[in-house]
Amino acid sequence: HDLGRRRIVDNTADFSLRVVEADEGVLKMRVVVGRPARRTPVFSSLMSYMVFNPYWNVPHIIAVEDILPKLVSGVDYLSRQRIRVFKDWTENAGEIDPQTVNWTHYDGTYFPFRLRQDPGPNNALGRIKFIFPNRFAVYLHDTPQRSLFNFTQRDFSSGCIRLENARALAAYLLKDRPGGRKTVASILSRATRRVVRIPNPIPVHLIYM
C-alpha cells in the first residue's frame, strides 16, 4: 500500500509516465508500451542504476520472430543495424561471422545465438536505459523512433517502456549527485558505454489503470 514518497509510475493504460514527490507530480511524459501480443507486465520494483550508450542484447522472442526471417533472406540487415552475432549467451561467448551460418536451420525452438546491437544513434534502446530488477527483463529506455509519440494509442513495443524524454528522467534521478545534471550531458557527449548508480534508488510501479 505504500508506493513511496518519491516514485515513478508508468500507467500503460494511458501511455504515460509520472514522477511523483510527496503526492505532487514533478515530471510527466508520454511513453510507448508493449503491443497486445507482448504486453507490458504489471509489477513494482526498485530502480538503482542507469546505463548510458547501452548495448542491446536482442531478446530471444524478437530475435526469432522479427529478425531471423530477415536473415534467411540475407545478413546485410545485421551490418546496417550494427548487430553482431555471438555463439551463445555465456559471458565470454565468441563472436561469429553471420555469413558462416545457415540461418534456415534455426527457428524458435532452437536458436542458440546472442544478437547484440552496438551503441549508436540507431540503437533500439536509444542513449539511456533505466534498470530495475524483475523477472520479465523489462526496463525503461530511450528510443530513436521519435515519431511513435505522435500517436494517441502508443502500444508498439515488445514489453519495455520507451520514454519521450529519457534525458529529463536521467537528470532528475541524478539531481542529488554533485553536478548531476551536467553529468548527463557530459556522458552523452561521448559514445562509450557507462553505468551510473542512482544516489537515491527509487520505486517503480508499472500499472494499468
Among 1, 60, 105, 141, which one carries the catalytic annotation? 141
DSSP SS3 for 137: coil
Confidence of residue 45 (pLDDT cuts 50, 70, 90): very high
* Active site annotation includes 141: yes
pLDDT > 70: what percent of the chain? Answer: 100
Q: Note whether 28 and 168 are within 8 A (CB).
A: no
* Active site annotation includes 1: no
pLDDT digits over 61-70, tens only? 999 999 999 9
Output the pLDDT for position 2.
Answer: 84
pLDDT digits over 107-143, tens only? 989 999 999 999 988 899 999 999 999 999 999 999 9
Among the listed residues 204, 208, 172, the one whose alpha carbon sits nearest the alpha carbon of residue 9:
204
Give the span between the Cα atoms of 56 and 131, in whole angstroms: 13
Among 1, 60, 105, 160, which one carries the catalytic annotation? 160
180, pLDDT greater than 80: no
